[in-house]
Structure 1
Amino acid sequence: MQSNKHYSLFLFLLIIGGVFGHAQEGKIVPLPIKAEQDTIIAPLLTEAELLKNSKNDSTAVDTVKTKPPLLLDVIKYKATDYVRLNQKEQKVYLYNEAEIQYQDTELRAGIIVMDYVKNEVYAGRIKDSLGNYSQLPYFKQGQNEVIPDSIRFNFDTQKAIIWNSRTEQQAGLGQLGSDAMKVYADVTKKENDSVYFLSEAKITTSTDTINPDYYIRIRKAKFVPKKKVIAGYSNLYIADVPTPIAMPFAYFPLTVGRAAGVMMPTFGNQADRGYFLQDLGYYVPIGEYADILVTGDFYTNGSWGFKTQSIYSKRYKYSGNINFRFENLVTSQKGFSDYSLTKNWNIQISHSQDTKASPNSRFSASVNMGSSEYYRNSLQQRNLPSTQNNTLSSSISYSKTFPAYPSVNMSLTATHSQNTNTKAIELTLPTLQASMERIYPFAKRDGIKKGIIQNINFQYDLSAANKISTTDDDFLKSEMFDGAKMGAKHTIPITTNFKVAKFFSVSVGGSYEDVWTMQTYDKSYDNDLEEIVTDTVSGFDRFNKYNFSASVGTTLYGTFNFGEDKKIQAIRHVMRPSLSYGYAPSFEKFYDEYIDGDGDVVQFTRFQNTLYGSPSLSKSNSLSFSLANTLEAKVRDKDSTATEPKKVPILSNFNISTGYNFESDSLKLSPLSVNGGTSILDSKMSINFSAGLDPYAIDNNGTRINTLNVKNGGSLFRLTRANFNVGYSLDSEIFNKDKKKEKKDENPYDYVAQSGGRTDDLFGRADNFQDNPMNESKEGEDVENPIYGTKIPWNLRLAYSASYSNSARQNEFSSHSLMFSGDIELSPRWKVGGSSGYDFKGKGFTLTQLRFERDLKSFVMRFNWTPFGTYKRWYFFIGIKSSILKDLKWENRSQRSR
């Protein structure tokens, strides 16, 4: 506070002046002078003249500058025990829970001493009789907070000296998220609102503020809150032990939000490619809603690769990401027999639109395409789980709805499917789908429809596509368009439905199709070449076809009650039988003839192998039957407070279907198809099965003959195929009845899932430790265990699959494998896990991976090992979990031998 002397003098003069004024007032005598009107009239000046005169007035502006007051606001202070004013020292003493507030500055401490002459405050701790300190000072100015042992602050100059300060800065590094960096200093000098000078400082991201498990010691530094720390000589300390990791000078960015910067690489050595730098790159934010990360890999034998990754998001509008990777792989050296040069690439695009952005239109994309050998030959360890994926698929679609009656839904889709084993690629560029809503011409639009006539309805569907079949070698070349097929199909289905005897639902209808194509195929026999020649005829052509169908179905319910006092109170069986009939005439008018080399007449259609098929030469007249079943039980709930029994599925679905062809001259019965599935053990185990049963026998060559298998000395049906899949997952939480397991949020940008791989780790886990920090939610937490017992969390996932083939008496398992993966937390911060499988047909283990993880609070240590097989390798990593200092790490790896 300022001195009161000036105010006292002013008050004294004011009182004296008032007294003298009052004394003279009673002695004033009016003069007898008569008032006369002044003959001089002042001229009226305009606004412009007034402004002109004011500029020329030399007395208008006072050249003497007044000194602004030093204190611009009232200082508020208080304390719990006492507030004592010492006039001799001109200080105010505040003790126990003392507080001072001045504008945006707040100071709290155990004891505060305020000098109201110098406008300075000193704040410190309170020491009790045992020598323990409490009520550390808390200093806040604007958004900056400091917790020191003591502080000296001047309100006039805004400067301060701080002893043993502790402050926390939230620093964001773009895609890597944000972390809290703690800055400690023995002595801090506050120069102004944005600059601090530190002496003997420590920087760490450890959550332990008393004894950090690691820190970077800085001798001198300049600290700009929320921007940067510029330091001199610095070195790393672990558990207060200095390490040889040191820098002559250092720069620590503390920018809040996204900021451009260099991405530090990883170092290593690969036997067949030499030393390398991986993931050296640069990160750049683009505007407010997007960013881009460019990284590269460099090998001493000449191999290189680069990757670009961009993530964009706008709330209530859209979100997505784009990944592109290219690798130039060199094996061996030029001149050697095993030298090779291959170029692999892969692109992944994901885009989703928020439903709130546009209710009548939507654009989405999910793209994963590239070289067939990309994942198997990739330089990146993160691609290990994707080596077991044999299919790449993509889809880009735009859909729009025209809501006016009758509404029309339209979609435009481009698709891609690629088999990495055969290198075959199927593309549709694009596919157009359009459909008009169902119209009831004999019923009111909003009325209830009854009877056959009112339920008559029709709609219109359009499908058009351009399909391309190519290979990996011709992809993105002009040759990929050779053999492209274009066409369109118009469909008008007409149906009606009604009830018969209250319990049977009957549906009757027909469908008309008009198929357009831009190419047809003419066939003829070449006598010189002695072979059938197929010529492609370009140009528009069309054919039409139609059919008739009818179906009847019902639903049957059966309940077996055992009593409410029983554990299983009832079993309910639901059956949905359905009988369908279909008829389509022969379309011989679209067929032509040619004479082969034997003189026989061969019929063919020019529409064979076109995009939407060809008309049928034979008449279709068939009957099909299907039966759907569900079986569930009502079980008394173990929870005594439950008012209703619990429903437990026994069979979620069990379906049977077959058919009979009236027009076929033989083998009129279709094979019986059976499939079903269920989940048991509180949905921990899922079971799915399917089978094919043929009623006809086969000859010695394995060909079906028109003789029932039962008449040939066999059973009623012959098992031709079967498939059985079981998935089972369990963990330690299933034995904890009181605690429900929380479901983890899925990462929308999961690299393995976008690559077409499994979302679980049955095919292994990606060795990309930078993108997958270990269980960050546990950082800094101390897990307490009972003295005579330890909780060991664990989880296990099993997947069993078997496929049986016996269509021609081969009686073999075409595939038979068991996959498993699991993790065990040996202690709160020790975790081991692995994934593997056994192929019973190939008699060998599948991709096997062992994982060891150690959470060191601020650090993470991992070791992944693939002990044998094609992808044999190991990977060791230890580093700081915080994204700010993630480049403080050490890693070593081996690469699989080629």
Structure 2
Amino acid sequence: MTRSYFLRIATLVLLMISDISILLQATEYTYYYHSDSHVSYYYTPETHCWIFPKSCVKKSDQVSAYTKVSKRLFNKDAFWLFTKPSSKKEEDQALAIVKYQAADQIVFDAKKNILSLHGASVLDYDKMKLEAHAVALDVNAHTIHSKGKKDLHNKPIENPIFTYKDIKKDKYGKDGAEKTRIFFMEEIHYNIDTKRALAYKLLTKQEDAIIKSEQVKKEDEETFYAKDVYFTTCTLERPHFYLRTKRSKLVQDKQITTGPFYFSFDDVPTPLGCFFGVLFLEGKRKHGIIPPSEITESSDEDGGKGFCIRNIGYYINFNDYADNSFLLSLYTNLDIEFENKFRYKKKYLCQGNIDYAQNHSGEEKNWSLAWKHIPKTRGNRSLRVEARIHSKGYKKRFDDEGEHKKKSSTEESESTGSLAYTDKLVGLPYTLSANLDYKINHNSNFKHFTLPKGVLSATWHPFKGDKSESGFKAWFHNIKLQHNIDFENHFQNLKKEPRLSEKVNEEDSKALTKVKWNEYREYGINHTLPLNTTGKLFKYFNLTPNFTYKETWYWKRLDWKKRVFKRKESEPMQISGFNRVWSYNFGGSLHTTLYHFQYFSKEQFMQGLRITTTPTMTFTYTPDFSKEKYHYFEETINDKGEKKAEYKFENFKPAHSLMTRAQSVLAFKLENKVHLKVKKEIDSNTKKKQKASRKIVLIKNIDFSTKYDFEEKKRPLDDINIYIASETEMLKIGPVGATAGFGLTTTFDPYHPIASKENDKHTTEKESFDFDFAWNHGGYLGKLIKRKLKINMKLQSTTEEKHKKKALLSDDSELDKIDEKDKKTDFDNSWSFGCDFGMDITRKRLYEKDEIDENAYTKDKYREGDVRYRHNYVNLEVEFTLLKKWKFSLDTSYDFDTRKLKEDDTKFTIARDLHCWLLSYKCYPLKEKRKYEFSLGAKANILKKLKLPRKREFLKLK
């Protein structure tokens, strides 16, 4: 019995000494799996790239089946992984299947519940994926440990690549699109439950920022603490520049906060740095420092204020609906500009912003306040507010995009505001839209207030519901009646607003301040009732008859017989009393659409032709309301004894203009379009179904238009207008891509004037001319009085790879990134040439309208002469690459009339691609103040504020 126990104990010891070889062989097929090849990602300096290695396939060496899990995987420094963070509440986590594979072996320790993967291993759990040479999963502790290995040359290979998917937050903290994040490292310890991790020699990319750290501790799903951090946007193994700091904190998609840091260029440390740094990433923000948008010397347009630090400030996000920005601009001459921007937005309700700004220059202090409130269409009521008031000397130097704002005399001299209210009146068919406006001119002290100006509108379809049982819809079912009531009430302290070009005397400006704001008043009510319907005529024609009645109420009129003399000028006297002005017109329109198809063989390049023609005729009749029975006009006699009909309600508000004669106008318009169906090249590489043909626009417009007035006796036919336009898409002719387009507008005068024999041909009176059609005198369509031609063309080199990449992408965000890159300097295209040619010629008639033809009832006068107005120009844009990564461009415009280059449009640019930096130089050599701009800045958007601009202007030497 004792011997039996002794033999059993001896056997057990031998098994332990032989490292349980017999048991391992018996369970070889249960715990051991082998794969011939496996794709593994590794990082090595030989790839010359921080993020993405050139090769992703590497044959890993076989690992012995007896190799045990390294104790280094269970680092004692990582014991804090097993404790949950106290700030987070425990949440029930859903179960997920663990998928794993290995190139060499898979070993599971049943006693310790540890799964070991050796070789090129992959472990996939939920939204997490880990690829490495060695992976260990502790089932009890829910932790993962992984590391890579080194080759014969002691270089790390098959390092861990940690990938997981999460939901990216937007700036309001709401869930956005799913994003995949990738981390490269040499060793990692990760807790599945708490999401805590400890990684060594980590490398990752957040937006455009590349971050490399010796040791990183992941506190939770968003917070990372890093030690000995390198930050850059350069993708080379040895970056051109980087920012280095000993410690840093990264909040995912929010910001990067660092301790003392400094810049290094080509591994050379520089004194450029700071005691702390904050870099905001794209994502949700709560608060933080806003870095300066520009640090440069102010231009002469700013008055030479010296060196400037512009738009440095602080950002506060109150909640999901409101935020605020404090911005400050400092100049070396002690001038200060302060701006506070408050924004608010409520989904489905409203959005707006309130901006307040102050400028301090010496003892002078100016301010500006602007409020913009935009409601969303919701319910029956809405209120829109837009106001802008400022002191007299306030000037806004930069626009909202940061570019230098061009001086605008209107904005600097006027304060304006408006309040718009809309209400769908409950119980009534009317909708109310009312506006309150004001305008104050600080130079002339002119004030104008509109209190209020509004519209009441309603629409009725009286026969809309009276359809037959079969669903037949007759013409009277489409009858529509509208009623619009326009009411206006204007107050101002001057009868007529002074023009911007007029100089205002200081005495007149001061005197105007004593005048009441409501010294002059204009008010009235206008009723408009349009009635129309739509029906079919002869099955293929669309007929739209209409009738419009208009009536306006005024509480004063002009008496031209009684005049008031003011400043040596006579004006008609205003007589108070209720006045009613009414008018009407009727007419209709008739149009249809015609198609012509021509088909060819499918084997030919041109497979089909389609011509679309749309003729339209419109007729309008308006009676003569200048007759004495209507009492709207008053006949006067001027100093020369000439009779003239004066309108009693001239320039009143709301306006109701009337003609001095009847009108019976028939307008005709013919529109044509030509489309081609051509053979399409099929890409054999794609598996998707492709159409064998595509449609291109050969001629976009061929339009003819004119009109005929039956009530006009001398010249019933109006000018004949012809418009032709076309544009082509990108066409590839070998390595060259071409786009082209043109537009031609012509106007013909169909009449030829003939002077009466009894009168001098140099007379300017209309009655002295007789008119005949120009084609009766060999003029074809008539005299060409206006011709406007514009031709544009662009040739450039094309790269097949760029177009293929853009075609294969399906994600809109990726397409937006490519489109954003297209706006920048493109170094891939070796050359491009663009040309715009314009020609505008206006030939004045032998009979020309007088300058006072603003009113409809002014008589026409004629002059002899054929004076031409000509404006011909050509714009050129040339880009070419002489040396690699050097781009030269020239933009200019030549005026054929002055035979000179346009000074403001002529510039040349030199750009140099410095991999992660961009150097550019712009020069305006022909300006009155010669100007050049130099800029050196980072290419990445995340560091777009990091640039060195330089601007200079010089006067020409005479």
Q: TM-score range by the shorter chain?
A: 0.5 to 0.7
Q: What whole-Å deviation, never above 9, does each CA across 1:634-692 have from its counterpart, x for those lacking one?
A: 64523388688957453624232233353x6x645353241423214348414141425
**Residue identity in the other structure for 1:800:** G
How far the C-alpha of 1:610 sits from its partner, in A, is 0.6
Match of 1:677 among 721, 724, 729: 724
Q: What whole-Å deviation, never above 9, does each CA across 1:450-496 have from its counterpart, x for those lacking one?
A: 46x77765332223345687456899999887756433310123456
Q: What whole-Å deviation, never above 9, does each CA across 1:17-64 have from its counterpart, x for those lacking one?
A: xxxxxxxxxxxxxxxxxxxxxxxxxxxxxxxxxxxxxxxxxxxxxxxx
Answer whether contact 1:439 1:459 (CA < 8 A) is retained: no
How far the C-alpha of 1:842 sits from its partner, in A, is 4.5
Per the alignment, residue 894 of structure 2 pairs with 838
Per the alignment, residue 8 of structure 2 pairs with none
Per the alignment, residue 174 of structure 1 pairs with none
Alignment CA distance shift 1:791-1:207 (3 Å): same
Answer whether contact 1:432 1:464 (CA < 8 A) is retained: yes
- Deviates further, 301-310 or 96-105: 96-105
Q: What whole-Å deviation, never above 9, does each CA across 1:494-550 have from its counterpart, x for those lacking one?
A: 45677777777666554322102355444423599985333456x673323233433
Q: What whole-Å deviation, never above 9, does each CA across 1:163-194 have from its counterpart, x for those lacking one?
A: 423355x5xxxxxxxx4544323356789999
* 1:490 to 2:537 alignment: no
Q: What whole-Å deviation, never above 9, does each CA across 1:105-129 have from its counterpart, x for those lacking one?
A: 9976423689999999975322234
What is the count of residue pairs matched by the alignment?
Answer: 766
- Deviates further, 279-288 or 384-393: 384-393
Tell me: higher relative CO, structure 1 or 2? Use CA pairs within 8 A at least 6 residues apart.
1
CA distance in 1, matches of 2:122, 2:249: 26
Per the alignment, residue 268 of structure 1 pairs with 297
CA distance in 1, matches of 2:248, 2:802: 53
Answer whether contact 2:697 2:726 (CA < 8 A) is retained: no
**Residue identity in the other structure for 1:215:** Y
Name the SS for the 1:732 alignment partner.
strand
**Residue identity in the other structure for 1:280:** N
Question: What pairs up with 1:27-38 in 2 under 5 angstroms?
Answer: none
How far the C-alpha of 1:215 sits from its partner, in A, is 1.0
CA distance in 2, matches of 1:573, 1:873: 52
Match of 1:223 among 228, 245, 249: 249
Per the alignment, residue 31 of structure 1 pairs with none
**Residue identity in the other structure for 1:708:** F
CA distance in 2, matches of 1:630, 1:214: 61
* 1:358 to 2:395 alignment: no
Per the alignment, residue 609 of structure 1 pairs with 651
* 1:638 to 2:682 alignment: no
Name the SS for the 2:239 alignment partner.
coil
How far the C-alpha of 1:237 sits from its partner, in A, is 1.5
**Structure 1: gaps (5+ residues):** 1-67, 171-178, 335-340, 744-771, 784-789
Question: What pairs up with 1:292-311 in 2 under 5 angstroms?
Answer: 292-300=324-332, 305=337
CA distance in 2, matches of 1:372, 1:701: 52
CA distance in 1, matches of 2:446, 2:745: 29
Name the SS for the 2:649 alignment partner.
coil
CA distance in 2, matches of 1:774, 1:423: 52
TM-score of the aligned structures, taking structure 1 as reference length: 0.66
How far the C-alpha of 1:426 sits from its partner, in A, is 10
CA distance in 2, matches of 1:501, 1:86: 90
Alignment CA distance shift 1:516-1:822 (3 Å): farther
Match of 1:706 among 741, 745, 769: 769
Per the alignment, residue 184 of structure 1 pairs with 212
CA distance in 1, matches of 2:835, 2:421: 38
Answer whether contact 1:517 1:542 (CA < 8 A) is retained: yes
CA distance in 2, matches of 1:694, 1:425: 48
**Residue identity in the other structure for 2:186:** D
Instruction: Indicate the RMSD between aligned Cα atoms, in angstroms.
Output: 6.2
Alignment CA distance shift 1:448-1:250 (3 Å): closer
- Deviates further, 705-714 or 539-548: 705-714
Per the alignment, residue 284 of structure 2 pairs with 257
Answer whether contact 1:654 1:675 (CA < 8 A) is retained: yes
Alignment CA distance shift 1:402-1:893 (3 Å): same
Name the SS for the 1:260 alignment partner.
strand
Question: What pairs up with 1:155-194 in 2 under 5 angstroms?
Answer: 162-168=199-205, 170=206, 179-187=207-215
How far the C-alpha of 1:816 sits from its partner, in A, is 3.8
**Residue identity in the other structure for 2:133:** G
Per the alignment, residue 893 of structure 1 pairs with 951
Per the alignment, residue 732 of structure 1 pairs with 796
Per the alignment, residue 812 of structure 1 pairs with 868
How far the C-alpha of 1:881 sits from its partner, in A, is 4.1
Q: What whole-Å deviation, never above 9, does each CA across 1:674-717 have from its counterpart, x for those lacking one?
A: 14232143484141414251625385366644311669989477
CA distance in 2, matches of 1:729, 1:544: 54
Alignment CA distance shift 1:733-1:397 (3 Å): farther
How far the C-alpha of 1:367 sits from its partner, in A, is 9.4
Answer whether contact 1:267 1:277 (CA < 8 A) is retained: yes
Name the SS for the 2:631 alignment partner.
helix
**Residue identity in the other structure for 2:786:** A
CA distance in 2, matches of 1:630, 1:717: 18
Answer whether contact 1:92 1:113 (CA < 8 A) is retained: yes
- Deviates further, 872-881 or 359-368: 359-368
How far the C-alpha of 1:292 sits from its partner, in A, is 3.9
Answer whether contact 1:284 1:293 (CA < 8 A) is retained: yes
Per the alignment, residue 659 of structure 1 pairs with 708
Per the alignment, residue 695 of structure 1 pairs with 751
Per the alignment, residue 463 of structure 1 pairs with 486
CA distance in 2, matches of 1:78, 1:636: 54
How far the C-alpha of 1:150 sits from its partner, in A, is 3.4
Per the alignment, residue 38 of structure 1 pairs with none
Alignment CA distance shift 1:436-1:821 (3 Å): farther
**Residue identity in the other structure for 1:609:** N
How far the C-alpha of 1:268 sits from its partner, in A, is 1.4
CA distance in 1, matches of 2:823, 2:386: 34
How far the C-alpha of 1:730 sits from its partner, in A, is 3.4
**Residue identity in the other structure for 2:650:** Q
CA distance in 1, matches of 2:698, 2:674: 6
Answer whether contact 1:375 1:383 (CA < 8 A) is retained: no
CA distance in 2, matches of 1:387, 1:310: 25
Answer whether contact 1:573 1:629 (CA < 8 A) is retained: no
* 1:235 to 2:262 alignment: yes
Answer whether contact 2:208 2:941 (CA < 8 A) is retained: no
**Residue identity in the other structure for 1:260:** G
Answer whether contact 1:634 1:645 (CA < 8 A) is retained: no
Alignment CA distance shift 1:852-1:700 (3 Å): farther
* 1:802 to 2:840 alignment: yes
**Residue identity in the other structure for 2:830:** I
**Residue identity in the other structure for 1:223:** K
TM-score of the aligned structures, taking structure 2 as reference length: 0.62
Answer whether contact 1:555 1:576 (CA < 8 A) is retained: yes
Aligned identity (percent) is: 16
* 1:869 to 2:927 alignment: yes
Name the SS for the 2:679 alignment partner.
coil
**Residue identity in the other structure for 2:726:** S
How far the C-alpha of 1:90 sits from its partner, in A, is 14
How far the C-alpha of 1:555 sits from its partner, in A, is 4.7
